[in-house]
């Protein structure tokens, strides 16, 4: 399995798990409150879950992969800015930065598949 598939599956599984845990985990529910997104927790969780599944399906469709990975990149950049806004520590902000970079790489690779 090549590097690009590894990061794609890693990101997909991460977002599926994160989306599911956002429904039930007390820790995640309190994090959404801390971020100021408690009213949008369910919608965000559904989007993350669908995006994770979309990455898996998109592994065989470059256009879908480009759309999903760019959406996740944007979502994670918003997460970075939210964490900056609430004055989170750099350690708490790093996962959002990591997933933004990961999904940008997936997006970039999907463009190569689209235009080759």
Query: Which tens digits make up the pLDDT trace of 56-93?
Result: 999 889 999 999 999 999 999 999 999 999 999 999 99
Q: What is the mean pLDDT of the chain?
A: 95
Q: Which residues, including other chains, have CB under 8 Å from residue 72's CB and lie 6 or more apart?
A: 11, 15, 51, 55, 99, 103, 106
Retrieve residue 18's tokens.
Answer: 């994160």
Contact call for residues 12 and 52 (beta carbons, < 8 A): yes
Question: What is the per-residue pLDDT for 114?
Answer: 85
| pTM higher than 0.85 | yes
Would you call 80 exposed, middle or buried from its count of C-beta atoms within 10 A (0-12, 13-18, 19+)? middle
Contact call for residues 12 and 45 (beta carbons, < 8 A): no
Helix residue ranges per DSSP H, 1-116:
3-24, 26-35, 41-58, 62-85, 90-114
Question: What is the per-residue pLDDT for 61?
Answer: 92
Strand, helix or coil for residue 86: coil
């Amino acid at each position: 399995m090549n590097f690009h598939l590894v990061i794609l599956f890693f990101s997909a599984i991460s977002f599926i798990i994160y989306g599911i845990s956002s429904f039930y985990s007390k820790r995640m529910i309190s994090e959404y409150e801390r971020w100021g997104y408690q009213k949008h927790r369910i919608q965000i969780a559904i989007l993350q879950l669908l995006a994770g599944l979309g990455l898996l399906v998109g592994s065989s469709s470059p256009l879908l992969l480009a759309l999903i990975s760019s959406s996740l990149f944007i979502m994670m950049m918003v997460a970075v800015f939210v964490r900056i806004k609430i004055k989170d520590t750099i350690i708490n902000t790093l996962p959002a930065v990591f997933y933004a970079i990961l999904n940008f790489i997936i997006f970039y690779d999907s463009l190569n598949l689209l235009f080759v």
